[in-house]
Amino acid sequence: MKKIKQNLPAFPILAYLTILVGIPLLLVVILSFLSRDSLGNIIFEFTLSNYKKMFDPVYLKVFLNSFTLAILTGIITLLIGYPVAYFTASLDRKMRSFVILLIMLPFWISSLLRTYGWSILLGKEGLINNILMFFNIIDKPLNMMYKFGTVLTGTAYMLVPFMILSIYNSVDKLDRSLLEASYDLGGGKWKTFFNITLPLTMPGIAQGYTLVFIPALGLYYISDLLGGGNTMFIGNLINNMATRGRNRPLASAFAIGMILLVVLVLFIYGRVTKNNKESLYQ
Partner 1 sequence: MNLNQKKFRTFYLSLFFIILYVPVLSVVLYSFNKSSSTAYWAGFTLNWYKELFNDRVILEAFNVSIKVALLTALLSAIVGTASAITSVYVTKKTEKTTNGLMFLPLIVPEVALGVSLLIFFSALKLPFGTFTLVISHSLFCVPYVYIMVQLRLKEINISIIEAAKDLGATRGQIIKTIILPLVMPSTLTASLLALAMSLDDVIISTYMAGPTTTTLPVHIFSMMRVGVTPKVNALCTLFLVGTFFLIGINQIIGTKGGKFFEQK
- Evaluate whether 253 touches 51 at the Cβ level (below 8 Å): yes
Which of 37, 125 has the CB closer to partner 1?
125
Using alpha carbons, select from 261, 89, 110, 243 the residue that is nearest to residue 176: 89
Q: How far is the CB of 133 from partner 1 (least distance, A)?
A: 10
Q: How far is the CB of 274 from partner 1 (least distance, A)?
A: 18
Q: How far is the CB of 58 from partner 1 (least distance, A)?
A: 19
- Evaluate whether 168 touches 204 at the Cβ level (below 8 Å): yes
Question: Does the CA dihedral 176-179-185-189 come out positive or negative?
Answer: negative
Q: How far is the CB of 24 from partner 1 (least distance, A)?
A: 4
Which of 45, 125 has the CB closer to partner 1?
125
Q: How far is the CB of 78 from partner 1 (least distance, A)?
A: 14
Rounded distance between C-alpha atoms, residue 78 and residue 163, angstroms: 7
Which of 60, 95 has the CB closer to partner 1?
95
Q: How far is the CB of 185 from partner 1 (least distance, A)?
A: 20
Which of 230, 243 has the CB closer to partner 1?
243
Which of 18, 47 has the CB closer to partner 1?
18
Across-strand partners of 35? 43
Q: How far is the CB of 127 from partner 1 (least distance, A)?
A: 6
